[in-house]
């Protein structure tokens, strides 16, 4: 029997390993972005790749997102599979035209004649006092736009498998990685940012959510750090005899309705937790889907926790107040169960 080599890796190493394996296999894969070369990506997503592949395939760019992310369009049309890094998702404002008017629409406007196999890798999330312009997730902003697959893996295993899948996909994929889950030495190192990752190549589908803890009383859905908080909450709830099922969303667009409906059919109660703004976010989208397509499974109103429509504040006491955590989740879950 062949032994499968599994090592414990951080989120960032898992991601960069996926890119390395794809680059070894396909010389049309290359990386462009700010500080992706010698630095290895500000959040470690391209660690060690420049040494292995050289500056022609791991290209440091000027601070010029419209330029290099727009250039990915022309390179993709010529048969390349560019991975471009938008250092912080918050910087989308300077390049959104290229992303939503071009990358997301060219396949459609060309009647399917032009493929756009582009991965836009981007760091998301707050919790470390980087304030309003460097702490957003913007899951909903990207999920709203047709023509983009949007993924937000949580644990190292899925970061690797979904990056591999994103590179292979012939469509544009916005690959969101959470800064706190990269396992970086200069941030709060949390246990969830380290996990078992097979050395061999594998794919994690881009359109599937995962039940990561089974339960019977309530379903809690999160993505990335909200999945981590939901797991902490589930442990707390367990102590009080409440059995919570936790779903890691993984795919922001499309939303995996089947996994969610199946869980709600079992638990009859639903709490959705988002590190994005409340209005028009995935809490609203999932609530709408469940209300319109799985309403009769519900025995209580759906609960939503998200950032209450304010920019992310700087001072830790303020930031902690607006980003949902396990305590908020426990309280909200009990409220739903008692309703």
Determine the Cα–Cα distance for residues 65 and 136; give it in Å rounded to an integer.
18
Of 92, 134, 178, 297, which is the active-site residue? Answer: 134
In the complex, the smallest distance separating the C-beta of residue 146 from another protein, rounded to whole angstroms, is 6
Judged by CB under 8 A, which stretch of 40-48, 109-117, 215-223, 257-265 contacts another protein? 109-117
Q: If binding is defined by CB under 8 A, does position 93 make contact with another protein?
A: no
Tokens 């010529």 sit on residue = 78
106 touches another protein (CB under 8 A) = yes
For residue 34, the minimal CB distance to another protein (Å) is 13
203 binds another protein (CB under 8 A): no
Interface pick for another protein out of 45, 61, 141, 263 (rule CB under 8 A): 61
C-beta of 174 vs 330, nearer to another protein: 174
From 79-87, 126-134, 186-194, 318-326, span contacting another protein (CB under 8 A): 79-87
Query: By CB under 8 A, which span of 142-150, 181-189, 279-287, 308-316 interacts with another protein?
Result: 142-150
Q: Report, in Å, the least distance between residue 330 CB and another protein.
A: 39
Binding region for another protein (CB under 8 A) out of 144-152, 228-236, 273-281, 288-296: 144-152
Whole-angstrom distance, CA of residue 83 vs CA of residue 53? 14
Judged by beta carbon, residue 121 or residue 212, the one nearer another protein is 121
In degrees rounded to 5, what are phi and psi of residue 312? -75, 125
Pick the binder of another protein from 24, 54, 74, 188 (CB under 8 A): 74
Q: Is 189 in the site for another protein (CB under 8 A)?
A: no
| Contact of 282 with 227, CB cutoff 8 Å | no
Active site residue 134: yes
Residue 75 found at the interface with another protein (CB under 8 A): yes
Considering the complex, state which of residue 75 and residue 152 has its C-beta at the smaller distance from another protein. Answer: 75
Applying the rule CB under 8 A, the residues between 4 and 33 that interact with another protein are 30
Tell me which residues are annotated as active site: 134
Give the interface with another protein as residue ranges (CB under 8 A): 30, 56, 61-62, 64, 66-80, 82, 97-98, 101-102, 106-115, 146-147, 149, 170-171
């Amino acid at each position: 029997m062949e032994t499968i080599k599994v090592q414990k890796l951080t989120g960032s190493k898992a991601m960069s390993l996926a890119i390395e394996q794809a680059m070894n296999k396909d010389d049309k894969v290359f990386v462009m972005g700010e500080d992706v070369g010698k630095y290895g990506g500000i959040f470690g997503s391209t660690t060690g790749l420049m040494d292995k592949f050289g500056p022609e395939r791991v290209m440091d760019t000027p601070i010029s997102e419209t330029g290099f992310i727009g250039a990915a369009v022309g390179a993709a049309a010529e048969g390349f599979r560019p991975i471009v890094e938008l250092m912080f998702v918050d910087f989308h404002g300077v390049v959104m035209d290229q992303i939503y008017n071009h990358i997301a629409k060219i396949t459609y406007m060309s009647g399917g004649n032009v493929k756009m196999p582009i991965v836009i890798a981007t760091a998301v999330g707050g919790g470390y006092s980087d304030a309003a312009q460097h702490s957003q997730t913007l899951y909903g902003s990207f999920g709203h736009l047709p023509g983009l697959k949007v993924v937000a893996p949580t644990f190292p295993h899925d970061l690797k498998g979904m990056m591999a899948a994103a590179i292979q996909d012939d469509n544009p994929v916005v690959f969101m990685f959470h800064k706190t889950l990269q396992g970086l030495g200069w941030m709060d190192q949390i246990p969830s940012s380290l996990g078992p990752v097979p050395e061999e190549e594998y794919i994690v589908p881009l359109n599937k959510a995962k039940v990561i803890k089974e339960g019977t009383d309530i379903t809690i859905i999160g993505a990335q750090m909200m999945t981590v908080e939901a797991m902490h909450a589930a442990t707390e709830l367990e102590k009080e005899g409440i059995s919570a099922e936790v779903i890691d969303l993984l795919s922001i667009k499309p939303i995996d309705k089947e996994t969610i409906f199946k869980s709600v059919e079992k638990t009859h109660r639903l709490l959705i937790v988002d590190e994005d703004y409340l209005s028009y976010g995935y809490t609203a989208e999932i609530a709408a889907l469940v209300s319109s397509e799985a309403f009769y499974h519900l025995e209580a109103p759906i609960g939503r926790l998200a950032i209450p429509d304010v920019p992310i504040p700087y001072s830790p006491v303020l930031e902690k107040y607006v980003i949902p955590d396990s305590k908020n989740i426990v309280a909200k879950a009990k409220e739903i169960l008692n309703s």
